[in-house]
Each structure stands twice: as structure tokens, then as C-alpha cells.
Amino acid sequence: SRCSSSDACKIGRCLDKGCLVKVEQRIEVGLATFLLLADGGYICANKDGLTPFVEGPLAVHVVNNSTGVISTEGGVSLLKAPTTEPWAQTRMVLLAESRICVCRRAYLDGTQWMEVTKPGGPGGLSGWVPASSVELDFDLSGKPGWARGL
């Protein structure tokens, strides 16, 4: 699910507009709907049964063993979440031809997004970029693990 209130508004634990949240349970109290988050706490999905504060559920797919390169000339800015909201901008830029691993992908608001990391394991550079800026190595990622010697 994704928060969709106004940019200046904060919901629950100060979630920003456009951030992704993992929902464990939906609870209805009268006309209001609340969502129990996987990280703990609740957010209000709507108050009157009509106006949603949260979009979803959204299809976010885990991608296994996919690698590629940044194909955008001049590189691409790494984002905290798959959104064009200003709060998601970081100062990190992945340069053109940088090698990346793809973790997840999602199609949101007419844009295909990919969550990427730099090769080398967890704890490194991680964030979201538009899929149009990534050229995947399908010849490697499309084969089963046994065909790649894994």
C-alpha cells in the first residue's frame, strides 16, 4: 500500500506521501478503516468510507538474481521510495554503466520502478530508480540457477 494524502500532511508515524508500507491487517471501525503495519503501529486508510488516504494493495514483485547496468546517460538519482515526491530524493547518483542488482519491481502511477543495490551484498547502496534507466542482463537472470553454476 502507498500513502496518498496531501504533501504537507503526515499520517500515523509521520509517513510521507508516496511511501510504501507493508500492511498485515485491515480493521474497520464504523466508516473508518485502519491498517496494521508490518513495522508496528496503525494508519488510518479512510475516515468516511469514501475518501482513501492509502492506495492499495499494490503489486510489488521480488526479483531474484537479476543484474544490469544504468543505461541513462549522465546517470540516475537514487530515490528512497518509488515516487516522484520531493522527499524521496537523495544526493546519491548511480553513474551511467554502473553495475546494479535488482531486488524488487513495481508498476505505480504509470511508471515501472526497480529497487536496486550495488553488487557486494547487504548494507551497501540501495534505493529506487525508474526501470527505464536500467538495462537488465537477461542472458544471465533469465536462466535457472543451475545453468549459471549456482
Q: Where are the domains of the chain?
A: 2-55, 60-141
d(CA 109, CA 95): 25
Per-residue confidence (pLDDT) for residue 117, from 0 to 100: 92
Q: For position 150, what pLDDT does the model report?
A: 42
pLDDT along the chain (150 residues), means of 10: 53 70 88 86 80 82 90 94 93 93 91 90 82 81 50
pLDDT (0 to 100) of residue 87 = 93
Q: Taking a C-beta distance cutoff of 8 angstroms, is the pair 62, 103 a contact? A: yes
If 0-12 CB within 10 Å is exposed, 13-18 middle and 19+ buried, where does residue 31 land? exposed
Whether 120 contacts 47, CB under 8 Å:
no
Predicted pLDDT of residue 93: 92
CA angle 71, 98, 111 (to 5 degrees): 45
Question: pLDDT value at position 148?
Answer: 47
pTM score > 0.75 for this model?
A: no
Classify domain 60-141 at the CATH topology level: SH3 type barrels. (2.30.30)
Q: How far is CA 37 from the centre of its chain?
A: 16
- The pLDDT score that the predictor gives to residue 57 is 83
User: What pLDDT, on a 0 to 100 scale, did the predictor assign at position 104?
Assistant: 92
How far is residue 56's CA from residue 94's CA, in Å, rounded to a whole number? 29
Q: How far is CA 63 from CA 14, 50, 110, in A?
A: 29, 34, 20
